[in-house]
């Protein structure tokens, strides 16, 4: 059974703190993603990685960074948390299937982060 | 124009009825299309994918794809209260780039009423 695991289900942090969100997948997937989800805005891509040590900005990378030192682990870092980063954070992974075929993303359980 | 558009709802249907959820996309060259179900407070889970024109059936679910009209739909037959959730449409664009990124719609909330 495929599995994407996020380190925390709920997290409360103070403004200005450095925050680490961890994600581990056991499917040997090359691709990993970090999204945030807010009411009315849907899923927005923050960063993604298609290989170890490779990363690319998504649609809303400002205020975030990522790290991928091992294939199975992808970390999202909030360098200095702010209240507008209060959100649900979702990690996902997928395999690089050929053109046109199933490239579904598998999601972790989500981390609800509150910055106070 | 948004890349993937869905009506946010809520779409209310009585138990046992057919629920029809629609999604349009802007990239004509898009390749693969996915429907995810997301219960409140939970993460999305894949329920269907389709990449050829026509219908694809899986149990009570049918995905329909019309590339000429750039829409994809999800039909849920014999709707149950447990189907009440938000349904996300996701599209793999022609140029998904490294990572095979999917583009998600904002989701349609479905409510199945007793």
Could you tell me which chain A residue has the CA closest to the CA of B95?
A: A99
Best mutation target among B46, B85, B101, B108 (most A Cβ atoms within 10 Å) is B101
B106 touches chain A (CB under 8 A): yes
Q: Give the pLDDT score at A104.
A: 75
B102 touches chain A (CB under 8 A): yes
Contacts of A50 in chain B (CB under 8 A): 98-100
Strands B103-104 and B108-113: what pairing? unpaired
Q: Give the pLDDT score at B93.
A: 75
Whether B102 and B95 have beta carbons less than 8 Å apart is answered as no
Residue that the structure tokens 């009209």 belong to: B69
Nearest to B100 among A45, A103, A110 (CB): A103
Segment B30-48, tens digit of pLDDT: 888 999 999 998 999 999 8
Q: Give the pLDDT score at A67.
A: 96
Could you tell me which chain A residue has the CA closest to the CA of B105?
A: A42
B100 touches chain A (CB under 8 A): yes
Query: Which CA distances in Å does A63 have to A10, A18, A85, B84?
Result: 20, 11, 9, 35
pLDDT mean over B91-112 = 82
d(CA B10, CA B16): 17
* Whether residue B1 has pLDDT greater than 80: no
Mean pLDDT of chain A: 91
Segment A2-29, tens digit of pLDDT: 689 999 999 999 999 999 999 999 988 8
In A1-116, where do the E strands start and end?
4-6, 10-13, 19-25, 31-38, 42-51, 54-57, 64-70, 73-78, 87-94, 106-107, 111-115
Nearest to A99 among B8, B31, B49 (CB): B31
d(CA A51, CA B26): 29
pLDDT confidence tier of residue B2, bands split at 50, 70 and 90: confident
Per the CB < 8 Å rule, is A103 touching B90? no
Query: Which CA distances in Å does B113 have to A17, A57, A62, B77, B79?
Result: 44, 42, 41, 14, 9
Could you tell me which chain B residue has the CA closest to the CA of A51?
A: B99
- Which residue would you say has higher pLDDT here, A6 or A98? A6
B92 touches chain A (CB under 8 A): yes
* Whether residue B23 has pLDDT greater than 50: yes
Nearest to B100 among A31, A107, A109 (CB): A31
d(CA A89, CA A18): 16
Nearest-CA distance from A25 to chain B in Å?
A: 15
* Whether residue A102 has pLDDT greater than 70: no
Segment B53-83, tens digit of pLDDT: 999 999 999 999 999 999 999 999 999 999 9
Sign of CA dihedral A3, B85, B2, B93: positive
Could you tell me which chain B residue has the CA closest to the CA of A110?
A: B43
3-class SS of residue B27 = coil
Q: Give the pLDDT score at A29.
A: 87
Output b/e per residue, B17-28; b: 16+ Cβ within 10 A: eebebbbbbebe
Q: Give the pLDDT score at B87.
A: 97
Q: Give the pLDDT score at A89.
A: 97
Segment A39-90, tens digit of pLDDT: 888 899 999 998 898 899 998 999 999 999 999 999 999 999 999 999 999 9
pLDDT confidence tier of residue B97, bands split at 50, 70 and 90: low
């Amino acid at each position: 059974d495929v599995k994407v695991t996020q380190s925390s289900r709920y997290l409360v942090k103070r403004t200005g703190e450095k925050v680490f969100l961890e994600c581990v997948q056991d499917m040997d997937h090359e691709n990993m993603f970090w999204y945030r989800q807010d009411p009315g805005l849907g899923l927005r891509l923050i960063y993604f990685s298609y290989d170890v040590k490779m990363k690319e900005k998504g649609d809303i990378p400002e205020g975030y960074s990522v790290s991928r030192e091992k294939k199975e682990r992808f970390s999202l870092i909030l360098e200095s948390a702010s209240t507008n980063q209060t959100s649900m954070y979702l990690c996902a992974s997928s395999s690089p299937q050929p053109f046109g075929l199933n490239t579904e993303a598998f999601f972790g359980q989500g981390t609800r982060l509150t910055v106070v | 124009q948004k890349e993937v558009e869905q009506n946010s709802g809520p779409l209310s249907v009585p138990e046992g009825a057919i629920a029809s959820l629609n999604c349009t996309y802007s990239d004509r060259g898009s390749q693969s299309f996915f429907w995810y179900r997301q219960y409140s407070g939970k993460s999305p889970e894949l329920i269907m994918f389709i990449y050829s024109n026509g219908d694809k059936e899986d149990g009570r679910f049918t995905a329909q794809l019309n590339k000429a009209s750039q829409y994809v739909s999800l039909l849920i037959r014999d709707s149950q209260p447990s189907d009440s959730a938000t349904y996300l449409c996701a599209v793999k664009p022609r140029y998904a780039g490294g990572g095979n990124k999917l583009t998600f719609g904002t989701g349609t909330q479905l409510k199945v009423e007793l």
